[in-house]
Amino acid sequence: MFAELLRDPWFLAALAALVIGWGAVSFSEPGRSRAVLEWLSATAMYVVLLMLFLRLSQRAWEGGSYLALAAFGFLSVVFTIGCGVSVVKAFQARRREEKSQVSATN
């Protein structure tokens, strides 16, 4: 199942954005651009997790396992909400002044 995801270019792009983003956050100075990068990397993390759990939900639906479908569907909803929150926070971090930083890592 994970091998199927690794053939998906959108999954690989989100995974690469996550790894590169968090690597860049680790070595950058605190500031507005770092806060925006943190939230964009968090968004990439949610996209990766969302793609994984949506695929698991699809397999549960095809297999007729309604308990697994409910569990993976619930996690898909949670990660969708988290993705939306992190996108909003990225836009807010972009507009925020330098001295009042709230980041995704503290």
- Structure pTM? 0.82
User: CA torsion angle for 40, 44, 46, 50 (degrees, to 10)?
Assistant: 150
For the chain, percent of residues with pLDDT exceeding 90: 70
pLDDT at 3 over 90: no
CA 60 to mean position of chain CA atoms: 22
User: Does 44 score more than 90 pLDDT?
Assistant: yes
What's the pLDDT band for 88 if we cut at 50, 70, 90?
very high
Whole-number pLDDT of residue 86: 95
Written as six digits, the tokens of 41 are 């990397």
